[in-house]
Amino acid sequence: MIALLTGRIDQIEEAACVIDVNGVGYLVAASSRTLAALPAPPGVARLLIETQVREDAIQLFGFADRAERDWFRLLTTVQGVGAKVGLNLLSALAPAELARAISAGEQASLTRATGVGARLAARLITELRGKVGGLPVAGAPFVPATGSVADDVLSALLNLGYRRPEAQAALARVSERLGEGANLDALIRDCLKELAR
């Protein structure tokens, strides 16, 4: 079973990405939340993987963090929730929002996900209400797995709580201004100044 992939993002599609690991391209389905967290091709990323083997296919599902993967596993235990609906739920609601909606019995929140009607939302609440307490609701920020200075700066900014798009934009401006030879400390310091404006 494949549990983790680290490689170059070859392409990002609507509901999946292709990750190139040493010349082998893996098609990985993912939520829109995970896909949005990926670096633009040809960036390098690390994805937690859930492998599902059927008679006619082997499918890989990727997650930016453990919380999302654990929720996917739980959601797909409910009758009527397959992998696609599980990813739709995780695209519509973050793990913390899922936990709140299920605990509070908010069917309307759950029906925001494509493929989830009132009956399925009610089933999700009934079957999962007692199980949500032990699940993680927030994972660590998505961190690309490479050793380059730019990726280290981006990782630091994400760990400080900045959103990926604003961190990437600040890093691009600072990198252009400081040039190729800028060291890690100077890049982080100037990015923080840029983001504080």
Contacts of 137 (CB under 8 A, 6+ apart): 67, 94, 95, 96, 99
Residue 144 belongs to some domain of the structure? no
In terms of domains, do 171 and 186 share one?
A: yes
Residues of the chain with pLDDT under 70: 133-148, 180
CB 95 within 8 A of CB 138: yes
Residue 143 belongs to some domain of the structure? no
Q: Would you state the pLDDT for residue 167?
A: 80
CB 33 within 8 A of CB 90: yes
Q: What is the pTM for the complete model shown?
A: 0.68
Residue 86 belongs to some domain of the structure? yes
N- to C-terminal Cα separation, the chain:
47
From the number of C-beta atoms within 10 Å of its C-beta (0-12, 13-18, 19+), residue 164 rates as middle
Domain count, the chain: 3
Distance CA 92, CA 112 (A): 6
Comparing C-alpha atoms, which of 131, 169, 135 is closest to residue 153?
169
Residue 139 belongs to some domain of the structure? no
In terms of domains, do 175 and 156 share one?
A: yes
Domain that holds residue 109: 66-134
Comparing C-alpha atoms, which of 31, 71, 66, 76 is closest to residue 46?
66
Q: Would you state the pLDDT for residue 141?
A: 38
> Tens digits of per-residue pLDDT, 97-123?
898 889 888 899 999 999 999 999 999
> Looking only at Cα atoms, what is the longest distance across the chain?
59
